[in-house]
Amino acid sequence: KQEVTQIPAALSVPEGENLVLNCSFTDSAIYNLQWFRQDPGKGLTSLLLIQSSQREQTSGRLNASLDKSSGRSTLYIAASQPGDSATYLCAVPYNAGNNRKLIWGLGTSLAVNP
């Protein structure tokens, strides 16, 4: 059974720091991995989607890497800003036949302090 874990659960850093969020999954046979951002009281916004054949994806100051064999993904945020404060979630599809539901981590709550 696929399980997704995110560490740490919460992180507080000063503005300008580079930081890494971790996501691990127990079954390496994943289709892809997706990182989301959730602001307080809001819905989720997709940040990056890495296909299983890819090693990393970049969008602006964000870089997500994927190591299927070790069951890990990292989200790297460069030069963090207060506006990056949010909860970051990772998710992998649970593929069984026609089943495309996502298995979610509980998220990392990030606070970037000015």
Give the residues lining the site for other proteins (CB under 8 A).
Answer: 31-32, 34, 36, 41-46, 49, 89, 93, 98-102, 104-107
69/96 with CB nearer other proteins: 96
12/45 with CB nearer other proteins: 45
In angstroms, give the least distance from the CB of 61 to other proteins: 19
45/113 with CB nearer other proteins: 45
> Residue 66: what residue type?
L
Greatest CA separation found in the chain?
Answer: 48
SS3 sequence of 51-76 = ECCCCEEEECCEEEEEECCCCEEEEE
